[in-house]
Structure 1
Amino acid sequence: MMRIEKIRLVIADGQPAVLTGLQAWFEGRGRYCIAASAKSAGQLLAQIDDARGDLIIIGDALGDTHELLRALRERHPHMPVVVLTSESDPRTLLAMQHAGARGIASTRDELRELGRMCDRVLSGAEGVVSRRIAGFLQATDERGVRQDYAHVRMRVRPFNAATISC
């Protein structure tokens, strides 16, 4: 069944250029409309009750992303949130998921990928991450600690089969 109504987005980012760019890109797709936009966390929280959005997209230029996610979860537990972040630390990314982000995209991702992620989140998927964010998360062990091999040094020695005796 085709959706007749447009998807109502609430977009918030502390950088006006990013906010304007996101608004223009999503509105240019034709299936989205901007229900509200905010330049700060306080402005977002003030507008969110009246916005009646289907999806919230927040940038990490708003301040404490974890605290904002918790506040959004308390007020609107069923409204999905996608975070657009420049963060690459796996522990921080995992903390965003635990705080309530249903999707996480990198600020370095193409907007098409962000759009695909939003579609997946709107379909009910949780734990959706962009390919770039997935790469950051895969570089961790089971505790969420980054596997950093920068300090490992390798020394290659020639191997001569003639020196091995059985």
Structure 2
Amino acid sequence: MTATHTPIRIMLVDDHAIVRQGLRSILERDAGIKVIAEASSRGECLALMERTTPDVLLLDLKLSTSSDTEGLDLAREVAERHPSVAILVLTTFLDEQLVLRAVQAGAKGYVVKDVDTDALVRAIHDVSRGESAFDARSAAAMVRGVRTPVPEAKPVLSPRELQVLAHLARGLSNKEIGKRLYVGETTAKFHVGNILRKLGVSSRAEAVYEATQRKLL
């Protein structure tokens, strides 16, 4: 990809220095991405966030501590303290409940570490634009992880909104949805906005989770 504007600023959070070094080397081959900071722990990340605010936090959920929830706790704190930062989980773990909990904690995307470079770069660009980004396995895991439907009436979605919702679940951008449905990107964005409003959520990832819980997908 070729940048036509200010590069997306990334903070890497992973407890393995060699992984961070490898990610930095790979990501900065894209002219539209710049790694501005690295952290190995929750505390180090939060301290860095007081001095510099990235556009995207690339986060491994499993950090080397006695707590299995440190990565999730960090995602939740960043989402609360720095809502402008898009959180993208990059991890080796594909546990169904972990994907759901990451979304609930504020993650806008979830990809596994064996994803190819192009897919990771696309995911970073997507979340930086406010889109959700899930690789196929993570999206499927999130759907499988939902077990109990919400005991409330389904929101009224138009047939077109249901079509858009199905494409949202596949992680497509507004532009891609527009192409699939033969409408403009602005129209697709309008439908997505209506879906978020009717589901009572604020992000595309939350919309997919909520819609799956309510058996709309």
- TM-superposed deviation, 1:3: 3.8
State the identity as a percent: 25
1:72 aligns to 2:73 (yes or no): no
2:98 corresponds to which of 82, 92, 98: 92
Question: Does residue 130 in structure 1 map to residue 131 in structure 2?
Answer: no
Aligned to 2:165: none
More strand by share: 1
Deviation of 1:116 (Å) = 0.9
* Greater RCO structure (CA 8 Å; 6+ sep): 1
* 1:141-152 alignment, distance < 5 Å: 142-143=147-148
Question: What is the TM-score with the length of structure 1 in the denominator?
Answer: 0.77
The aligned residue for residue 210 of structure 2 is: none
RMSD of aligned alpha carbons: 1.9
Unaligned residue ranges in structure 2 (runs of 5+): 150-217
CA deviation map 1:95-137 (0-9, x unaligned): 10000000101122122211111111112113x2112212323
Q: Amino acid of the residue matched to residue 43 of structure 1?
A: E
Equivalences, count: 142
> 2: distance between equivalents of 1:58 and 1:141?
23
Q: Give the unaligned 5+ runs of structure 1.
A: 145-166
Q: Give TM-score, length-normalised by structure 2.
A: 0.60
Which shifted more, 102-111 or 62-71? 62-71
Aligned mate of 1:114, from 113, 120, 140: 120
User: Secondary structure at 1:118's aligned position in 2?
Assistant: helix
What is the match of residue 6 of structure 2?
Answer: 5
Contact in 2 for aligned 1:10/1:51 (Cα 8 Å)? no
